[in-house]
Amino acid sequence: MATCKRCNEDFGVTLAMIKGFNFSTNRCANCERENHAALLRFREAFKAFIADLELTEDEWWCLKNGASAELLDWDEAVRFVKTESIFFLLSMASLEDSFKFRRSPEQFFLFEATFNQLVNALGVSKSQISTAISTVQALRSFHAERHQKNIEFERHLQAEKDRREREAVQREVARQRVRDEEKQRIWNAIMSEFNGFQ
């Protein structure tokens, strides 16, 4: 007995062979054609979504829902776009490398998290995108160093600001002392004149 996993139709062994039942995928010939057409549509949607070298959460949701609506097995759909996935991930890393001086370390760390999620979600083996992974690792070192320098620079700026504020307070205290001494001198002069009149 052979049952098509897509349309759930039961075929006898003889009828399955006559009708072209695919025993490796457990689909009848008609469902094989429909499944292949759905995979082609999935590939076109995937290519359209990654054309800007981004794959947003909304686009990912659309792909998953589209695959489900087309009765596609998700793992099979992802395997079907493996070549496009590899090109996409390599291009993402290359583009990020070209923007490394324009991106903040925080922007890179967000990119890296997204990149790693996509590597896992798209089922791409790391050996297939070793160039991209090497690029991302080099970028991580670059941005970690920039991040450290930014922290040191911010500490230096804060220390300089604190120093200037302390000096401003000290100058104000000194000016106030001079004003108080001047007031006291004037008061003393007035008092001595007043005492002289008596």
Helix spans in 10-129 (H): 13-18, 29-50, 57-69, 74-80, 82-98, 105-121
Gap between the Cα atoms of 73 and 141, Å rounded = 38
Q: What percent of the chain has pLDDT above 70?
A: 93
Whether the per-residue pLDDT at 194 is higher than 80: the answer is no
Question: What is the SS3 assignment for 38?
Answer: helix
Pair 67, 35: CB distance under 8 Å: no
Angle at 95 between CA 101 and CA 59, to 5 degrees: 125
pLDDT in tens, 18-58: 667 777 887 888 888 899 999 999 999 999 998 888 888 89
Pair 4, 27: CB distance under 8 Å: yes
Q: According to the model, what pLDDT value does residue 68 have? A: 93
Amino acid identity of 192? Answer: S
Gap between the Cα atoms of 71 and 6, Å rounded = 7
pLDDT in tens, 96-132: 888 788 778 888 888 888 888 888 888 888 888 888 8
Q: According to the model, what pLDDT value does residue 14 have? A: 63
Q: According to the model, what pLDDT value does residue 41 have? A: 95
Gap between the Cα atoms of 83 and 46, Å rounded = 11
Segments making up each domain of the chain, as ranges: 2-197
pLDDT in tens, 153-192: 888 889 899 999 999 999 998 899 989 888 888 888 888 8
Whether the per-residue pLDDT at 16 is higher than 90: the answer is no
Distances (CA, A) of 127 to 15, 96, 98, 124: 43, 20, 23, 8
Higher pLDDT, 135 or 10: 135
